[in-house]
Structure 1
Amino acid sequence: MPRVEIAPGNYRDGGPCPDLLDLARDRFADDGVRGDLTVTSGALDAFERGLAARLEPGDTVAVEEPTWSNGRDLLLSAGYQVTPVAIDGEGPLPDELAAALAGGAKAFILTSRGQNPTGAAVSAERAAALREVITRHSDVFVIEDDHWGELSQVPLHFVADAADRWMFVRSVSKPYGPNLRCALVAADADTKARVQGRMQIGHGWVSRILQHFVIAAWTDETVEECVAAAGRVYAERQGALREALAVRGIDVWGRSGLNVWVPVADETAAVVGLRDARFAVAPGRAYSFHGHQGIRVSTARLDPSLAEAVADAVAQSSGPASPPI
């Protein structure tokens, strides 16, 4: 990575770095994302500020089921009501979203790619169907999380701007490291102004030092090659386990990201059985509003040569179960 030159900071020049916004604008445009841009201290910071700018405690948010546990905890701790929207391997189910919005949900949060815990990714067909639903409820506030971003081996199919009020969030944590505490946000003009305004009355702005490190990473060919290689490795590891499970009659959705989700009859028994086989997995209830039984298997560090052994252990420990939809 090249040496990062940073001028002494001051309060007058704080805020999003123009050079970073220019780079983000080009990157987003390549994926069909256009809007006003700002910078937040990671994805959850963007979610919290966006929701606080648009909603009141007690308002209802439509959320994927199963969903990212940190996002779920944020919503519940802030006092929002939650309506789960079932998903499959192509993302949220349009009929479920339509029911949630008709039932009064004022916001909708979805994951573009690498959905945690399932590994689902929104397909072109599903994006079009979701956009149609959102267009009929254009007053809903839509947050789209593309945390997998540069690591993804599948294309982005953008959904959020089907609404009048929207926010698209791409964290740098997965590709470049969580210590950067930085996310790039595209939004409609009013939402962007509200999010940035809320930052100004709090901690002010994301450190310019961190922003310049993101610029350095984004403009370094060696770093770009490393991230691309990492994306291919992660896809190979996830694919190896998905294929091994399929041979054993276990279909999972994961085609992007770091995880696969396996519905089970008894998640405690499954977790213990896999532990006894010397494999650690996460119990599913931390990711479910309905308490569906399941396990999240992380493939981030899985040696593909072990995929068969892991699949055997999952098959022996999981038992029959219905998918969580």
Structure 2
Amino acid sequence: MASQYAIRGATAKGVAASVEEGVARGALAPGDALPPVRRLAEQLGLSPGTVATAYKELRQRGVVVTRGRGGTVVAAAPPVAPVGPAPTRRPPRVPDGLRDLAAGHPDPAFLPDLLPPTPLSPGARSHRTAPRLPHLEDTVRDWLAADGVPGGHVTFAHGALDLVARLLTTELRPGDAVAMEDPGYHHLLDLVQALGLRTLAVAVDDEGMRPGALDGALRAGARAVVCSPRAQNPYGGRFTRRRRDDLAAVLRERPGVLVVENDSAADIAGVPLQSLAAADAPPARWAHVRTVSKYLGTDLRWAAAACDPMTLARHDGLLLLTSGWVSHLLQETVHGLLTAPATRDRVRQAHDAYAQRRTALREELAARGIPAHGASGMNLWVPVRDESAVVNGLRTRGWWVAAGARFRIAAPPGVRITTAALRADEAPRLAEDFATVLGESQATYGG
């Protein structure tokens, strides 16, 4: 328990604000326990109901979580930006001399040069009446149609997380549940928590979400589903046609559930798309989200989505009341890149290279008796017993990989290795080092 920080307040809002201030200052760190309701009520001279209301507000905002008998603790990634010298939630700097295979970034060699569009947007004017460039809309529809995704209703946003946040905000209220992949993309897991929503874990395998696990989450009350049809991060799963149809059958029984597909790698995923939106009986409420940061530029904060008419109307209604539109300069840049022949050639090269590199490491690990998952995308997920022992062991051999804890809800431990920039001829050395580390870990820790 963080005993050095004294929570204050004479009202529920005051108590909640005091806890949030402690988190912002770094005096209350992720995992720190808050005092039990009755104890804090006695200390502050308040009723237990007042403190319980404060804790409820903090839970709804994702600042704290309740762990049953474990009490109330500060969330792993609370939506409170640190003030002053407090530590941030940004990934740690890669130590000097280590090969970074943890960040999840693409190989810069395959990213096209970013140039400002010409001519630049003339003058100051409002784009609220025409937020999307028609020629970019047409390009996006063609892009989606090539994969069978209906493109009758499309919209844009400032990246996938911005788009998913707006979709969930318009559909759900604090306390509602979202079915999420486990293991899954840590930024999405943090986002759902920050919105005050509950996460229901859905186990995944090499074909994506497991239908039985999804059915269980829906029976438990999930009002939305966030999934990856390919290049699932971190597991690397992808929907086969049969898996897509099985999931669609589960969703068919609950037409009011919003289904959000996050197709983050799209053209470099290495496998064809099997979208739920293209199933014979697609979900009634759906959105298929695409970004370009993995293969056009990590600083291109732009995303597109195709969705059903009601989902589009709700998303765009909230967008209109907030940021209003996505910069037309950014839209022109994205359009220029999507339509440039040189860019398409670079994307094809990335597609082939990423598949080769991912496969090379998976096969080298398999040759040493180490199972790994990565049927698509830029990452491999390697199950291990002790994440810290493996991460630290590989660090001593010059490799920097990601511990799986931040990706997991209830899934067994593992590590994520980003293979995007790992050349195929480097795979044997990494696999050999991995095998050595596992042997040392087993001898030291029993696994």
The answer (yes or no) to whether the contact 1:135–1:163 under 8 Å persists in 2 is: yes
Shift, 1:4, TM fit? 3.2
Match of 2:328 in 1: 208
Contact persistence 1:121–1:255 (CA under 8 A)? yes
1:164 is aligned with what amino acid? Answer: A
TM-score normalized with structure 1 length: 0.95
Match of 1:10 in 2: 125
User: Is the counterpart of residue 266 in structure 1 residue 357 in structure 2?
Assistant: no
Q: Choose which of 89, 95, 102 in structure 1 pairs with 2:212.
A: 95
Matched, 1:33 2:153: no
Task: Tell me by how many angstroms 1:22 deviates.
Answer: 0.7
Counterpart residue type for residue 90 of structure 1: E
Q: Deviations over 1:22-51 (max 9, x none)?
A: 111111111111141010001001100000
Which letter does structure 2 place at the counterpart of 1:134?
L
Closer/same/farther in 2, CA of residues 113 and 243 from structure 1, 3 Å limit = same
Residue identity matched to 1:171: T
Equivalent residue in structure 2 for 1:81, among 198, 212, 224 = 198
Q: What is the CA-CA distance between 1:219 and the residue it aligns to?
A: 1.2
Mapping for residues 178-217 of structure 1, pairs under 5 Å: 178-217=298-337
Check the 8 A contact 1:117/1:261 in 2, yes or no.
yes
Alignment correspondent of 1:135 = 252
Cα displacement (A) at 1:160 = 4.3
1:179 Cα deviation after fit: 1.6
Measure, in 2, the Cα distance between the counterparts of 1:6 and 1:18.
Answer: 17
More off after superposition, 244-253 vs 262-271: 244-253
C-alpha spacing 1:318/1:107, structure 2 compared with 1 (3 Å): farther
Determine the C-alpha separation between the residues in 2 that align with 1:165 and 1:188: 6
8 Å CA contact 1:68–1:287 kept in 2: the answer is: yes
> Does the CA contact (< 8 Å) of 1:234 and 1:300 recur in 2?
yes
Pairing partner for 2:400 from 280, 284, 295 = 280
**Alpha-carbon offset, residue 317 of structure 1:** 2.4
Give the match's secondary structure for 1:176.
coil
Kept in 2, the 8 Å contact 1:142–1:165? The answer is yes
Equivalence for 1:124 = 241
Amino acid at match of 2:163: A
Q: Which residue is 1:156 aligned to?
A: 273
Match of 2:338 in 1: 218
The one of the two structures with greater contact order (alpha-carbon pairs below 8 A, sep at least 6) is 1
Describe the SS at the equivalent of 1:260: strand
What do the CA deviations read for 1:285-321 (whole angstroms, capped 9, x no partner)? 0000126321111111112111111112222324699
C-alpha displacement of 1:10: 1.7
For the aligned residue pairs, the C-alpha RMSD in angstroms reads 1.7
Asked whether 1:145 is paired with 2:265, we answer no
Q: How many residues align?
A: 321
Report the Cα distance in structure 1 between the residues aligned to 2:437 and 2:238, rounded to whole angstroms. 27
Name the amino acid aligned to 2:416. Answer: R
Tell me, yes or no, if structure 1 residue 113 matches structure 2 residue 233: no
Indicate conservation of the 8 Å contact 1:285/1:292, yes or no: no
More displaced 10-residue stretch of structure 1: 287-296 or 205-214: 287-296
CA distance in 2: counterparts of 1:66 and 1:256, whole angstroms = 15
Instruction: Say if 1:264 and 1:294, in contact at 8 Å, map to a contact too.
Output: yes
Other-structure match for 1:305: 425
Amino acid at match of 1:105: A
Partner of 1:23: 139
Greater C-alpha radius of gyration = 2
Residue 70 in structure 1 maps to residue 187 in structure 2: yes
Code of the residue aligned with 1:18 in structure 2: it is P
Shift of 1:14: 4.5
Q: Which of residues 286, 297, 314 in structure 1 aligns to 2:434? A: 314
Identity of aligned residues (%): 38
One-letter amino acid of the structure 2 residue matched with residue 187 of structure 1? C
Contact 2:261 2:287 in 1 (8 A): yes
Mapping for residues 244-263 of structure 1, pairs under 5 Å: 244-263=364-383
Cα distance in 2 between the residues matched to 1:94 and 1:252:
22
Query: Which residue in 2 is equivalent to 1:45?
Result: 162
